[in-house]
Each structure stands twice: as C-alpha cells, then as structure tokens.
C-alpha cells in the first residue's frame, strides 16, 4: 500500500466534501485527497490511473451507482482487485442490511459518519492510523 498515495473519497454531498477534505488533509498531509461526486467517475479513475491509492472512502448511498455496486465492480475486475486498495464505507444513516451486504464484498470497514466534526475527525484519524501501520499487499513494491 502506498502510504503517501491519494485518498479517494466518493460522496455526492458537496457539504461532506467541504467537511472531509480539510480533516483528511490535516491527518494525512502527504496523501492528496481526490474527491469524486459519482461512483462511475471514481471507477474510471481507478481503471486508468497509475497512482497507487492509499485508501478508498465511499458513501453507500450515491445517485447513479451505489457504493455497494462500486465495490462489486472493483471485486469483479481482476486488475482492480489485485491492486488491493483498502475500501471503507463512511456513511449515514446506517442500516443492518447494508452493513451485512457490504461485508459480503470483503470491505475493510464500515463506519457511520458522526454528527460532530471532532468525532468525525477521530474516526478518520483511526482509519488512517490503522492503514498506515497495517501490512497489506499494496505496501510492497514490485522490487520487494
């Protein structure tokens, strides 16, 4: 995993983009935040970029394609699956059936967005800290 690679955020709520971007820039200053307002745009980026993303943080409920559908497409694409980019759902509201469905897709976390900015920052800090220290297939280069 490229610890300094971009953090990919997918959320069609512009208020969340305004809220999350500065928090992520503060807690992961070496990882640029790339925001997508649609799952399809994020998928197109992932299929064409040579960047090694650090993390994908996605809303579940999106307009054209849900976060769950996006995760399914990533899992079905052998090249994207092999990239082993950690995939986290960061959403509100949370329903049991969505959590169950998401974990059938080998996601790496499901978090309910907290109401306060400080609580949200704590959640994102824990996520970034965990993946910064975790050994993962993406952590190794082709030379390793």
- Is residue 44 domain-resident? yes
Structural domain span for residue 23: 7-139
pLDDT of residue 136: 65
pLDDT digit string (tens) for 49-66?
A: 999 899 999 999 999 999
CATH number of the domain residue 91 falls in:
3.40.50.2300
- Is residue 73 domain-resident? yes
Write out 36-61 in H/E/C secondary structure: ECCHHHHHHHHHHCCCCCCEEEECCC
> How many domains does the chain contain in total?
1
- Is residue 27 domain-resident? yes
- Is residue 90 domain-resident? yes
Q: Between the CA atoms of 51, 131, 37 and 78, what dihedral angle is there, to the nearest 10 degrees? A: 60
pLDDT of residue 101: 86
pTM: 0.90
- Is residue 144 domain-resident? no
Name the pLDDT band for 97 (thresholds 50, 70, 90): confident
- Is residue 2 domain-resident? no
- Is residue 1 domain-resident? no
Please state, rounded to an integer, the average pLDDT across all residues of the chain.
90
Would you say residue 123 has pLDDT above 50? Answer: yes
- What is the percentage of the chain residues whose pLDDT exceeds 70? 92
pLDDT of residue 1: 42
Would you say residue 144 has pLDDT above 80? Answer: no
Distance CA 76, CA 27 (A): 32
Average pLDDT over residues 83-104: 90
Question: Nearest to residue 42, comparing CAs of 21, 19, 59?
Answer: 59
């Amino acid at each position: 995993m490229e610890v300094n690679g971009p953090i990919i955020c997918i959320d069609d709520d512009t208020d969340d983009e305004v809220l999350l971007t500065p928090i992520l820039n503060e807690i992961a200053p070496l990882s640029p935040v790339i925001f997508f307002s649609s799952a399809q745009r994020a998928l197109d980026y992932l299929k064409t970029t040579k960047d090694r993303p650090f993390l994908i943080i996605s809303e579940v409920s999106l307009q054209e394609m849900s976060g769950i559908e996006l995760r399914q497409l990533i899992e079905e694409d052998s090249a994207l699956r092999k990239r082993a980019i950690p995939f986290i759902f960061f959403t509100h509201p949370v329903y049991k059936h969505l959590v169950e469905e998401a974990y059938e897709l080998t996601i790496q976390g499901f978090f309910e967005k907290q109401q306060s900015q400080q609580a949200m920052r704590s959640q994102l800090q824990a996520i970034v800290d965990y993946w910064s220290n975790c050994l993962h297939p993406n952590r190794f280069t082709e030379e390793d």
